[in-house]
């Protein structure tokens, strides 16, 4: 296992200490239980947004904590759901009296633990509503989920949901916007290489030198099929073909196109794929007016990418464009 | 070779098309010859800042083009210096009548081609001054350079030099600030894995499963030594030990600490290393008041990192904090 670490059991703790030191202006890192809050929070009277999940997907979710972003993020162990007590503590710390939205990616452990935390918070008179994202069109059920997985669509979903809360929407309104993003975003990913969880020490799967996994999950869990490596144009056509026909996206639709790196993919390949995706969509008359390209939701050092497409309307566009000031995403502040 | 590409010979061209489409609000991509300019440039009366080098180091340099950043960037083929005609065209396009600064990383091909371009620009009455960075303490000369290599220190150097130009400094003043950064920044890197240049198709070197290369160059060229993989704390001590004793940095110094990923390193490892670096510096009484952690100067998919330390004064700090709005770095705008 080739990693820049000291001890597989302390990777997350040490990384969180680094986050606290590097971004003290933006976030406060709490320990025992571990969670991350806005340095200037809680914001009284604002709906608070809390998300989280296993570590190893950085900058998800802590990198999106800050003004215009999440109020709190809860990191589990690598590829392991955070515990209910972590989520409860983050929820309590983020609450500004206007209710809390839990943004939950659809993985069985996360669903259960966020539900438990919401019940515990409710017993303390914190009004929590959960929204679940399941944007991965690759598989119906999976080794980690009942139903579809929550994947790259989480990034625009975070951004837009948090912007609705930041502009002062009440709890029901924030939840409605958040669900509108879920209803309009679809994603599919692929991988060229596996990744290695530190405490396991071995790659989560193997791929031959000429193979790729289409529809890969963000923990390296199986996708649709293992095939021979093809060209970027063919890969993009496979991913976006499935994405476009699923919603479906149609001629004349106005969209946000997001090419996400899995952690180990060079930027030059992501922009090349983005170009191929634009050509694919242009041929189908699907317009792209907003874009995101980069490593925003990763799987440790995995090489690969996912492509997300979000159907935009004027309000979603305005919320996407709204200011945000976080470690992983800054705009207009 | 596992890459998301169509044709090894068109990787840079296709990626540049992607950049143009994804960042049309920030940059304009020119072809034949290839270079990138600010979408709102040239800025009349402002000293223009132009940099560049081989592709494969993204987001260097095109990702730093925009308000508060570079006026133009010139991408060569992967790991290959841009040609004089590319650099000349970028210089002409960026010139706002107040002179042009060429920010050149110390590699033999870049030095020669930027010099030739500067002479050609001079013949057209464009006043060009070059500043060269050679911040890598790992080796004295190398396979790619006479003298030290220009590496991670380029990122704060870009930021601060461009901020001096943005606030209205004249050509001599911008050059003086730029040289002050060069005089006060030092860097050393290491790699766990090699990278593969697309048109070569083979890794640039090999490392055994338990080996790392200390003092690696950004093209995978040899560093100081190949050793057994050690802990993050030991790696950080090796890199920062060399960095600190070189300038030297001393007890009471105020610094910017930059942990840079080589492209394939997970964010969680970079933050863990950043934490180790902070402990190393704290033990020596070296203060860190500004930080940067991430993949800002990469070597394709190489796994590894470099650590840069810049001695700050009030003016350099103010210029580091000044607004910038580029694809790879946004702050305060």
- DSSP codes, B118-139: HHHHHHTT--EEEEEE--B-S-
Cα within 13 Å of Cα(A37), Cβ side: 21
Strand arrangement, sheet containing B48-55: B27-30, B35-38, B72-78, B48-55, B100-105, B128-133
| pLDDT at B333 > cutoff 70 | no
Other Cβ atoms closer than 10 A to B75: 29
Mean pLDDT computed over A237-250: 98
**Whether A215 and A106 share a structural domain:** no
At B320 the three-state DSSP class reads helix
Which residues in chain B are closer than 8 Å to A201, comparing Cβ atoms? Answer: none
Q: CATH number of the domain that A210 lies in?
A: 3.30.1180.20
- Measuring CA to CA, which residue among A63, A27, A8, A6 is closest to residue B276? A6
Do the Cβ atoms of A12 and B332 come within 8 Å? Answer: no
The verdict on residue A64 lying in a domain is yes
- Look up the domain containing B236 and give its range: 185-325
- Cβ neighbours for A322, distance < 8 A, ≥ 6 positions apart: A68, A163, A166, A167, A331, A332
**What is the number of structural domains in chain A?**
2
Do A153 and A185 form a contact (C-beta atoms < 8 A)? yes
In this structure, the dihedral spanned by the alpha carbons of residues B167, B171, B177 and B178, taken in order and rounded to 10 degrees, is: 110
Which residues in chain B are closer than 8 Å to A21, comparing Cβ atoms? Answer: 274-275, 278, 288, 291
Instruction: Kindly report, residue by residue over B174-183, the tens digit of the pLDDT.
Output: 999 999 999 9
| pLDDT at B184 > cutoff 70 | yes
> Is A72 near chain B, with CB under 8 Å?
no
The verdict on residue A258 lying in a domain is yes
Tokens describing residue B209: 């499963």
pLDDT for the residue numbered A141 = 79
Distance from the Cα of A274 to chain B's closest Cα (Å) equals 6
pLDDT for the residue numbered A333 = 53
**Whether A111 and A189 share a structural domain:** no
Mean pLDDT computed over B133-156: 91
Mean pLDDT computed over A10-24: 98
Q: Report the sign of the C-alpha dihedral through residues B7, B8, B11, B12, in that order.
A: negative
Average pLDDT, chain A: 97
**Whether B206 and B301 share a structural domain:** yes
Distance from the Cα of A172 to chain B's closest Cα (Å) equals 31
pLDDT for the residue numbered A257 = 98
Do A142 and A288 form a contact (C-beta atoms < 8 A)? no
Instruction: Kindly report, residue by residue over A123-137, the tens digit of the pLDDT.
Output: 999 999 999 999 999
| pLDDT at A98 > cutoff 60 | yes
* pTM: predicted TM-score of the whole model, two decimal places: 0.97
Do B18 and A275 form a contact (C-beta atoms < 8 A)? yes
pLDDT for the residue numbered B142 = 76
**Whether A220 and A128 share a structural domain:** no
The region, left, alpha or beta by phi > 0 then psi within -120 to 50, assigned to residue B285 is left
Q: Which residue of B has its CA nearest to A228?
A: B2
pLDDT for the residue numbered A207 = 94
Do A275 and B306 form a contact (C-beta atoms < 8 A)? no
| pLDDT at B170 > cutoff 80 | yes
**Whether A93 and A23 share a structural domain:** yes
- Measuring CA to CA, which residue among B114, B94, B92 is closest to residue B103? B114
Mean pLDDT computed over A246-274: 98
- Measuring CA to CA, which residue among B319, B328, B293 is closest to residue B160? B319
Instruction: Kindly report, residue by residue over B250-283, the tens digit of the pLDDT.
Output: 999 999 999 999 999 999 999 999 999 999 999 9
The verdict on residue A320 lying in a domain is yes
Please tell me which of the candidates B2, B266, B295 has its beta carbon nearest to residue A300: B266
Chain B from 6 to 45: CB within 8 A of any A CB: 6-7, 11-12, 14-19, 21-23
- Measuring CA to CA, which residue among A21, A61, A264, A295 is closest to residue B271? A21
**Whether B124 and B33 share a structural domain:** yes
pLDDT for the residue numbered B141 = 78
pLDDT for the residue numbered B179 = 98
Average pLDDT, chain B: 97
pLDDT for the residue numbered B85 = 98
Give the 3-state secondary structure percentages of chain B, helix then strand then coil, rounded to 5: 35, 25, 40
**Whether A321 and A189 share a structural domain:** yes
Q: State the DSSP code for A295.
A: -
**Whether A216 and A124 share a structural domain:** no
The verdict on residue B159 lying in a domain is no
> Is B326 near chain A, with CB under 8 Å?
no
**Whether A129 and A254 share a structural domain:** no
**Whether B197 and B125 share a structural domain:** no
pLDDT for the residue numbered A172 = 98
Q: CATH number of the domain that A45 lies in?
A: 3.40.50.10440
At B102 the three-state DSSP class reads strand
**Whether B189 and B321 share a structural domain:** yes
Do the Cβ atoms of A22 and B293 come within 8 Å? Answer: yes
pLDDT for the residue numbered A204 = 87
Do the Cβ atoms of B15 and A235 come within 8 Å? Answer: no
At A188 the three-state DSSP class reads strand
Largest CA distance in chain B: 55
The verdict on residue A292 lying in a domain is yes
At A240 the three-state DSSP class reads helix
ipTM of the complex, rounded to two decimals? 0.97
> B59: cis peptide before it, omega within 30°?
yes
**Whether B191 and B320 share a structural domain:** yes
Chain A from 260 to 319: CB within 8 A of any B CB: 263-276, 278, 288, 291, 293, 295, 298, 300-301, 303-305
pLDDT for the residue numbered A146 = 83
The verdict on residue A243 lying in a domain is yes
- Cβ neighbours for A208, distance < 8 A, ≥ 6 positions apart: none
Instruction: Kindly report, residue by residue over A39-79, the tens digit of the pLDDT.
Output: 999 999 999 999 999 999 999 999 999 999 999 999 999 99
The verdict on residue A140 lying in a domain is no
The verdict on residue B144 lying in a domain is no
Distance from the Cα of B72 to chain A's closest Cα (Å) equals 18
Mean pLDDT computed over A265-277: 98
Instruction: Kindly report, residue by residue over A292-306, the tens digit of the pLDDT.
Output: 999 999 999 999 999
Question: Where do the H-state alpha helices sit in chain B?
Answer: 11-22, 84-94, 108-123, 154-166, 171-184, 232-246, 267-283, 314-321
Provide φ and ψ at A17, rounded to 5°: -65, -40
Please tell me which of the candidates B58, B231, B235 has its beta carbon nearest to residue A267: B58
**Exposed (0-12), middle (13-18) or buried (19+): which is A85, by Cβ within 10 Å?**
middle
């Amino acid at each position: 296992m080739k990693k820049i670490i000291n001890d597989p059991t302390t990777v997350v703790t040490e990384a969180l200490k680094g986050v606290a030191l590097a971004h003290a202006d933006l976030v406060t890192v709490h320990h025992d239980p571990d969670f991350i809050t806005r340095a200037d929070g809680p914001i009284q009277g604002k709906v608070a947004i809390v998300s989280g999940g296993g570590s190893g997907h950085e900058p998800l979710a802590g990198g999106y904590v800050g003004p215009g972003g999440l109020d709190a993020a809860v990191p589990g162990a690598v590829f392991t759901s955070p515990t209910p007590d972590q989520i409860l503590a983050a929820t309590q710390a983020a609450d500004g009296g206007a209710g809390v939205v839990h943004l939950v990616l659809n993985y069985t452990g996360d669903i259960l633990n966020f539900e438990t935390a919401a019940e515990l918070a409710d017993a303390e008179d914190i009004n929590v509503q959960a929204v679940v994202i399941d944007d991965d069109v690759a598989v119906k059920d999976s080794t980690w989920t009942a139903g579809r997985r929550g994947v790259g669509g989480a990034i625009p979903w975070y951004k837009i949901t948090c912007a609705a809360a930041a502009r002062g929407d009440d709890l029901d309104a924030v939840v409605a916007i958040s669900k509108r993003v879920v209803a309009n975003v679809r994603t599919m990913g692929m991988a060229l290489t596996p990744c290695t969880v530190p405490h396991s020490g071995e790659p989560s799967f193997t791929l031959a030198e000429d193979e790729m996994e289409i529809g890969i999950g963000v923990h390296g869990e199986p996708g649709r099929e293992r095939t021979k490596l093809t060209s970027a144009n063919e890969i993009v056509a496979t991913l976006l073909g499935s994405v476009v026909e699923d919603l479906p996206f149609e001629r004349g639709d106005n969209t946000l196109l997001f090419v996400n790196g899995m952690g180990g993919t060079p930027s030059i390949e992501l922009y090349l794929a983005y170009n191929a995706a634009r050509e694919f969509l242009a041929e189908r008359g699907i317009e792209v007016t907003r874009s995101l390209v980069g490593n925003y939701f990763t799987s440790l050092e995995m090489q690969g990418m996912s492509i997300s497409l979000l159907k935009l309307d004027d309000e979603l566009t305005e919320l996407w464009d709204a200011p945000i000031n976080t470690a992983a995403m800054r705009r207009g502040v």
